[in-house]
Structure 1
Amino acid sequence: MLLRSAVLACYACLPVACATPSGGPTPDAGLVEVWTTTADRRLALSPSTLATTAADGAGVDIEVDARTRHQRMLGFGASITDSSAWLIRHRMGEAQREALLRELFGRDGDGVGFEFVRLTIGASDFSRSHYSLDDPPDGAPDLELRHFSIAPNLEDVVPVTRQALAINPELRVMASPWSAPAWMKDSGSLVKGRLLPRYYDAFARYLLRYVDAYADEGIPIFALTVQNEPDHEPEDYPGMRFNAPERARFIGDHLGPLRDRRRPHLQIFDWDHNWDKPQEPLAVLADPAASKHVSAVAWHCYGGHVSAQAPVRDAFPDKDVYMTECSGGDWEPVRSGGLTLQARTLVIGTTRHWARGVLFWNLALDENGEPHAGGCDTCRGIVTIDSMTGAVTRTDDYYALAHASRFVRRDAWRIASTDTDDGIDNVAFENVDDGSRVLVASNSGDAPRTITVGDGGRTFAYTMPAKSVATFRWHPGGH
């Protein structure tokens, strides 16, 4: 059903009072809590409340149906890249650092409750230098991994991740390599090249050695991908082409069996690349030896359309879906699409197409999109840290994520809601801890829009400002 035209003259006239923090008690029966952010930041997670009314038999724009359940959610978050961790450790004071990490990973007060992060195994473009975790001084093969060391991470990534875990002990941490060590590749370099088959076993041991080393530092890794963006060989930062037949052999004959013996609860995700080549993960999942070791497909946003996630999941319904990287930045369509593009595509679109977890790219970058060693010079972080003062600015990506992460809890069900097609996008969830319902909606239009939402025998209406995102939370006890 098409949404009705805006009928309320002023969204600011809605009553504003006593909206509880996400960790607080549930609303009174019959009340809906609303948080709204506008693209111009006139509203920024601004709270209000409204009442529900008995359904009068008229149609609603969005019907929420908790009887139809889809995937259970793991969480939302971003990557603690080397660059992000370095800024947090070296460009912020202790009090600033603690406040930022509590805001990002905590749920008390204004905490946005990130529950999912990604680390890089060795350097990415968002590192201050290029390195792997096994770089022998002479560059000779190191089959016994005698030179393996996570020393490059001990100053920044490890302490920041441990601090995040101290704030949220349930935080789930995944990790991805940008390249195997140079001595394992046909290029002899971290930049470009392919993994030589004779080193498949060594690379499998390298990845599990990383998991062991991080466990020793108090950081449990719950999932790995075997290669970041395996269909791309960057020109100026670590990368490695690793096509579907190669990944299938590596997972099926090497990493998978070793994982089963050493760390049977560690998950392996395939692909970790864009929506435009679903045939790549489909080929790996069609290989019986590899597929039995793969628990999920990981996606990036830089090519194709989010809808590609669903057919892969439909073909292999026993495999989970994750969005594991997308960066905001200064390019089209992100520049003009802004907040509502990020929300409707990366939060609403990915979860409507089965994603259990959603990760943006850098947790933090400075005012110049630094530091980085090659790669993207127009990317931004979830937050921007002033390199001189440590002051924090929150980006569109922060608000897009927070509209879900602050309100949708671990293990929440995505539930059915009407999929509209006229500029209002939405996704609905039911939290298992208190039974509350959460609806995230985005108005991409240039004018306010009134939406009516139905849940069982109750309805409510709200006028969304132009170019805005709103989160609604209510308790079915009011019905």
Structure 2
Amino acid sequence: MTAFKIFKTTGENDLFRPVSPEEYDPFEAADDDSSTATVQLDDRQTRQEMDGFGASFTDAAAYLMNQKLTEEQLEEVMTRLFHPVKGIGLSVLRNPMGASDYARTVYSYNDLPDQHTDPELSGFSIAHDEQDIIPLTRKALALNPELKLFASPWSAPGWMKTSGSMITGQLKPEWYPAYAEYFVKYIQSYAAHGLQIYAITPQNEALYEPGHYPGMLMPAEAQADFIQNHLKPAFVRSSLHTKILCYDHNWDRPDYPLTVLEQAGEAVDGVAWHWYGGSAEAQSTVYEAFAGKEVHFTEGSGGEWIPPFEQAFSNVMRTGIQILRNYSKSLVLWNMALDEQNGPTVPGFGESTCRGIVQINQQTGELAYTLDYYALAHFSTVIRPKAVYIDSISSDTSLLSAAFRNTDGSTGLVLFNDTQESRDVKIKLRDQEMLSLHMEPKCAMSILMKPE
């Protein structure tokens, strides 16, 4: 016998709801006909092991959650986000190291007046993070002990850069050693709070040099040099085992991580990707060129550039499945929380169009869960940490699927009907019929199958 737990989203008024046994047939599949699609699972064909799903405690998100919610609201939202039973069990946080575009001020962990330098980093401090980000991260870890922490800087301290500012510019080569120690101090400072940093990237979106928020151009050759000759040796000297992921930018430039891996491969653990350009197949292209290097998806934001609800929700489901089918061990969206104006953002940022996982209205205090929360739920509740990807083949290319075998022996399957027509679907595991079900147009379903 197999026990089934199924969740379904058919639209804005039918979000991630449990499906009753009356709505599916766990034994006999529907009669074979042209309108029935089949999803064939094969747990003998395996690939990557999952770290999990999540988002980011940016300065903006952490401020809103920690300072603008009541104690009861904060307890509710943290439980719903991170608890593996009472919530959706998010297990990855990818936090900015210093200010990003979603911060109330521009700051690093070693800010100095103009024309000053600090080669020994004697002024290094994570005091900023101790107010909101670290308390929330510790609470998330308490709710989900399998939580993994990733960290990425948007910029080095301004005094290390050609621009003299955290906005625009590149890292000066003479400060490569000091910047490597900056990472070491960050990791050690978080460890002192009981927080182990699992992985870092040397630079967020290394090919983009924004003129209105922190950023830093870092060409591929410079990143390879920094990682191989400075960052990795600094980690070794300090006995740090934090993973180093390169690139941390869009799918449309696979030449960048290919260059870094070619030049500094032994010092690099994997590649981090974003979804703002190109397609997820780039992940496989690089993975197949450097087998054994991990694949991570570290940032993708929903926003007003895609109309809600159906198109935006469909985009997260469709793209999320493709990310997993292309070797990724993680799926991380962007801000954990934003306000009713899609902020706060750094001064001078202008209008924000990004969407958080939750929305916290600063005027009314209202807490709301966005479509991204429910899309993440479809993945994180049935695909748990350390789950192993298994093969899933659909007879219909518009019926998208991703399947994993969890450590408890259960199978997690995420389906998305990417058409405007209803479909009858039957699920098979190694040619054995498991269940049949009905999917409305643009319907998402998450299925947990566990032998009893």
CA distance in 2, matches of 1:274, 1:450: 36
Code of the residue aligned with 1:311 in structure 2: it is T
Code of the residue aligned with 1:203 in structure 2: it is Y
Matches within 5 A, 1:62-461: 62-109=39-86, 111-287=87-263, 290-332=264-306, 337-345=311-319, 347-373=320-346, 374=349, 377-419=352-394, 422-433=397-408, 435-456=409-430, 457-461=432-436
Code of the residue aligned with 1:329 in structure 2: it is G
1:259-316: CA deviation from partner (whole Å, max 9, x where unpaired):
11213411000000000000000001011xx211111100000000111110100111
Deviation at 1:200, TM superposition (A): 0.3
1:147-187: CA deviation from partner (whole Å, max 9, x where unpaired):
11111111111111111111112210010000011111111
Code of the residue aligned with 2:299 in structure 1: it is E
Deviation at 1:418, TM superposition (A): 0.4
CA distance in 2, matches of 1:56, 1:239: 54
CA distance in 1, matches of 2:116, 2:219: 26
Percent of paired sites with the same residue? 41
CA distance in 1, matches of 2:241, 2:328: 20
Structure 2: where are the runs of 5+ without partners? none
Code of the residue aligned with 2:18 in structure 1: it is S
The answer for the alignment partner of 1:26 in structure 2 is none
CA distance in 2, matches of 1:452, 1:33: 16
Aligned length: 444
TM-score for both structures, normalised by structure 2: 0.94
CA distance in 2, matches of 1:376, 1:413: 41
Code of the residue aligned with 1:385 in structure 2: it is I
The answer on whether the counterparts of 2:38 and 2:394 sit within 8 Å (CA) in structure 1 is: no
The answer on whether the counterparts of 1:83 and 1:370 sit within 8 Å (CA) in structure 2 is: yes
CA distance in 2, matches of 1:255, 1:395: 38
CA distance in 2, matches of 1:56, 1:301: 37
Code of the residue aligned with 1:135 in structure 2: it is D
CA distance in 2, matches of 1:143, 1:161: 30
CA distance in 2, matches of 1:61, 1:267: 39
The answer for the alignment partner of 1:465 in structure 2 is 440
Structure 1: where are the runs of 5+ without partners? 1-28
Partner SS for 2:213: coil
Partner SS for 1:250: helix
Equivalent of 1:61, from 38, 57, 63? 38
Task: Name whichever of 439-448 and 82-91 sits farther off.
Answer: 439-448
Deviation at 1:138, TM superposition (A): 4.5
Partner SS for 1:236: coil
The answer on whether the counterparts of 1:403 and 1:440 sit within 8 Å (CA) in structure 2 is: yes
Task: Name whichever of 38-47 and 465-474 sits farther off.
Answer: 38-47
The answer on whether the counterparts of 1:306 and 1:349 sit within 8 Å (CA) in structure 2 is: yes
CA distance in 1, matches of 2:16, 2:25: 22
Partner SS for 2:269: strand
CA distance in 1, matches of 2:236, 2:39: 45
Q: Evaluate the alpha carbon distance shift between residue 81 and residue 476 of structure 1 in structure 2; reply closer, same or farther with a 3 A threshold.
A: same
CA distance in 2, matches of 1:385, 1:240: 30
CA distance in 2, matches of 1:159, 1:32: 37
C-alpha RMSD of matched pairs (Å): 1.8
4+ runs of 1 displaced by more than 4 Å?
54-60, 333-336
Q: Evaluate the alpha carbon distance shift between residue 375 and residue 308 of structure 1 in structure 2; reply closer, same or farther with a 3 A threshold.
A: farther
The answer on whether the counterparts of 2:3 and 2:451 sit within 8 Å (CA) in structure 1 is: no
TM-score for both structures, normalised by structure 1: 0.89
Partner SS for 2:13: coil
Partner SS for 1:251: helix
